[in-house]
Amino acid sequence: MLKIEFNENIDILCEKFSNAVMEIIFKNQSLGLKTSVGLCGGKTPERFYKSLAAASNSDKALKIDWAGVYFFMGDERAVPLDSEESNYKNAVKNLCGGSKIPASSVAPIDFGHSSHAESAAAYEREILAKTRCGKFDLLILGIGSDGHTASLFERTLYGCAGTFISHYVPKLSAVRYTLTPSALGESKNIFALAAGNEKKSVLSRAMNNETAADEIPASMIFKNVKNRSVTLFTDIKVDKSR
């Protein structure tokens, strides 16, 4: 099922996002279950994470056991964890700064292995240990202006088996770590974040069923939505008839 949360006021949009995240956590907690959440990097999610951080201090969040929520990076750069380019560092800063969410709940990638592939494999094992067979309860995904999502870029989807990998992205001339298309497709709930009218064209293409995933990887978010729950949080006016 596809749900579109639209609001031109980004603060209201962020509040809706925070409430929706906590609703999933509440539901799992009421069933005695932990909650696994995949986080995206980039600039767009920063305000959404700050909103969730503030919401964690609200009265409605008092009953949440944040230690029972496991956060993983859905994509990462091959940089030290204290680098300003680290998605992990920025996630911890925006999500955990001044909030009830402990920084220890956000799992970093261990770059101490002998290769990028081994570091990715170790992180995959950690994900599999704290999710139900690699299926996230909630996966938060951004949509880049070039149509990428996680660290899945145009013409880079070949050989993406398993749950979490490292791969070389030619257009960036860099190694990136990322969840695979399979992991995206198996997540129970996806919250997609798209803000800024400069993304209107790529968002429209991503939501078109005819768009190839290898051309616009973000189109994977909107495929087979009858079998899972996808919520788009956006300040961009889109066709709600889809």
- Segment 44-55, tens digit of pLDDT: 999 999 999 999
Segment 218-223 mean pLDDT = 94
**What pLDDT does residue 158 have?**
72
Examine the pLDDT at 159 and tell me if it is beyond 80.
no
**What pLDDT does residue 161 have?**
83
What are the tokens at 239? 């066709």
Q: 202: part of which helix (H) or strand (E)?
A: helix 200-206
What is the rounded CA–CA span in Å between residue 113 and residue 200? Answer: 40
Segment 156-183 mean pLDDT = 90
**What pLDDT does residue 227 have?**
78
Query: Domains, the chain, ranges and CATH?
Result: 2-234 (3.40.50.1360)
The answer to pTM > 0.85 is yes
Q: pLDDT confidence of 160, banded at 50, 70, 90?
A: confident
Sequence-distant (6+) residues with CB within 8 A of 235 are: 6, 7, 8, 9, 10, 13, 195, 196
Q: Alpha carbon of 208 to those of 204, 213, 223, 229: distances in Å?
A: 6, 11, 9, 17
pLDDT tens digits, 93-127: 999 999 999 999 999 999 999 999 999 999 999 99
**What pLDDT does residue 155 have?**
87
What is the rounded CA–CA span in Å between residue 190 and residue 242? Answer: 17
User: Could you tell me if 55 and 18 are in contact, meaning their C-beta atoms sit under 8 angstroms apart?
Assistant: yes
Q: pLDDT confidence of 240, banded at 50, 70, 90?
A: low
* Cβ atoms within 10 Å, residue 199: 22
User: Could you tell me if 151 and 164 are in contact, meaning their C-beta atoms sit under 8 angstroms apart?
Assistant: no
Percent of the chain whose pLDDT exceeds 90? 88
Examine the pLDDT at 242 and tell me if it is beyond 60.
no
What is the rounded CA–CA span in Å between residue 134 and residue 127? Answer: 6
Segment 128-135 mean pLDDT = 90
Segment 76-83 mean pLDDT = 96
**What pLDDT does residue 156 have?**
84
